[in-house]
Chain A
Amino acid sequence: MREVNVALISEAIKEMCIEANCCLNEDIYSAIENAEKNEQSEIGKNILSQLIENAKLAKCKNKPICQDTGMAVVFIEVGQDVHLVGGSLTEAINEGVRRGYVDGYLRKSVVKDPLIRENTKDNTPAIIHYDIVEGDKIHIEVAPKGFGSENMSKVYMLKPADGVEGVKNAIIDCIKSAGPNPCPPMVVGVGIGGNFEMCAKLAKKALLRKVGSKSEKAHIAEIEEEIFKRANNLGIGPQGLGGNTTILGVNIESFATHIAGLPLAVNISCHVTRHSERYI
């Protein structure tokens, strides 16, 4: 049994919130750089070069890349041989988010109740996904997610008969109807299988994977490749103002499902897809 004080987790999460919001990940950054070289539209090229400049400036000034510093999504895998001490894990995670958003001058974008809509003023609560895994390590991933793109996401409960074509068409349909709203170029996270809530969680998880990486499952990697091409042929382009850079990448995760179903979730994200990861 390894003892870990939850204060360590608060500290890590605080730092990860700030880091994720101010330093664009290398994979996204180089995807934008590549896109800028290959973009056919003049307007689009210009927008992409502004995004590069913006990311550089944010990093050097330790300023948020985007003012929508999101709702903090935390994936935490706790090894079953870890004994947590020092207080509640959930409270420790929220304390980390609170300190990250307050001390890091990040925007507080969370309301306490979806209908009464009063700002909590510290960006808590976070959305936390817990998992118990083997071993004595804790794996934390923090992915602050803006809502311009979150609002464009969809869940489809397809039929088994819709098959792989139905899946591909629905993903393209979702990207197309998002259009200029989620600050394209987008990053697209897809979850196939599971059930209603599982596919949505898979889609979110897919956004944690590096853009440009491929699924380990050959039949899934094929879909990723095709979607990448088809999406970039939609013409939406940077900021929806036309061009051949509509998405920077698409990552798909899949899971077992029921004989009667083919659940599909498409989590639309933007060129400020943030992600920070640590082991404790």
Chain B
Amino acid sequence: MEIVLNTPITREKARELKAGDIVKINGVIYTARDAAHKRMLENLEKGIDLPFDIKNQTIYFAGPSPAKEGEVIGSVGPTTSYRMDKYSPKTIELGLTCMIGKGSRDVLVIEAMKKYGAVYIGAVGGAGALLSTCVKSCEVIAYNDLGSEAIHKLEVENFPGIVIIDSEGNNLYETEVQKYRK
């Protein structure tokens, strides 16, 4: 099913999404990858709040290439998500409802998605030039010193994705691959 998905996404809305749904995402999403996740969660332990209110938000595992004069953003495809597996159960517990990335996820992440209601959406890895055309604005809101790994607040329009793992734990990587295995 093709679905227009507006952010922020409530837990209830996240639970409605099913593995295999084709989505077009609209609204604000935040980029964060290895270094930003590490810093966010280390700060949290020290009593420092996250740089944005994570409730019902979407994190895009991505680090864009630099924008040229007149461009909103450089190329911006997903990075491999399993490197954030260590952090995602916590961000989901804190209110995150949607993650965009590529590649497999750990069982602990999937357990947290089931428990709290969150969804994992795949964007096409290596299609960063194409995906950049869906980004209408881009602002670094935290950790500027991390360069590409800083947290960018993006406004996206018709950002294409496919629900890979839903809040029941259905996983497209398993079900689809089986169909073509010989």
Residues of A bordering B, CB below 8 Å:
40-41, 43, 47, 50-51, 53-55, 57-58, 61, 63-69, 105-109, 117, 119, 121, 148, 151, 179-183, 233-237, 239-244, 270-272
Contact = CB atoms under 8 A, between A and B. Distances in A.
Nearest to B148: A107
Interface stretch (B7-15, B48-56, B90-98, B124-132): B124-132
A53 to B, nearest CB: 6
Contacts of B122: 239, 241
A105 B65 contact: yes
Interface string B97-135: 000001110000000000000000010111111101100
B3 interface: no
Given A180-B103, A241-B122, A64 B128 contact: yes
Given A43-B162, A64-B65, A235-B178, 11 more contacts: A50-B124, A55-B129, A66-B127, A67-B63, A67-B64, A105-B68, A119-B146, A180-B173, A242-B176, A242-B177, A272-B126
Contact of B125 (A43, A53, A234, A239): A239
B181 A121 contact: no
A66 B148 contact: no
Contacts of B177: 234-237, 240-242
17 contacts: A65-B126, A66-B75, A66-B126, A67-B62, A105-B68, A105-B74, A107-B63, A119-B147, A179-B173, A181-B80, A181-B103, A182-B80, A235-B178, A241-B122, A242-B176, A270-B125, A270-B126
Contacts of B68: 63, 105
Given A179-B173, A181-B82, A181-B103, A244 B126 contact: no
A63 B181 CA distance: 36
Give the 7 A-B residue pairs with the shortest CB-CB distance, closest first: A242-B176, A235-B181, A183-B125, A235-B180, A181-B103, A233-B182, A54-B130
Nearest to B164: A241
A40 B129 contact: no
A112 to B, nearest CB: 13
A41 B147 CA distance: 38
Contacts of A51: 124, 126-127
B141 interface: no
Contacts of B44: none
A41 B176 contact: yes
A48 to B, nearest CB: 10
Interface in B17-54: 35
Interface residues of B, number: 45
Interface centre among B63, B82, B176, B178 (most CB of A within 10 A): B176
A42 B11 CA distance: 30
Contacts of A105: 65-68, 74
Interface centre among A58, A181, A270 (most CB of B within 10 A): A181
B125 A65 contact: no
| A contact face: mostly helix, strand, loop, or mixed | loop
Contact of A63 (B74, B104, B178): B74
Contacts of A61: 129
Contacts of A242: 172, 175-180
Contacts of B103: 148, 179-182, 240
A29 to B, nearest CB: 13
Interface centre among B126, B130, B176 (most CB of A within 10 A): B126
B148 A109 contact: yes
B169 interface: no
A61 B69 CA distance: 12
Contact of A181 (B104, B176, B180): B104
A50 B79 CA distance: 17
B129 A47 contact: no
Contacts of A106: 65-66
B152 to A, nearest CB: 12
Nearest to B146: A119
Contacts of B62: 67
Nearest to A270: B126
B108 to A, nearest CB: 17
Contact of B180 (A63, A180, A182, A243): A243
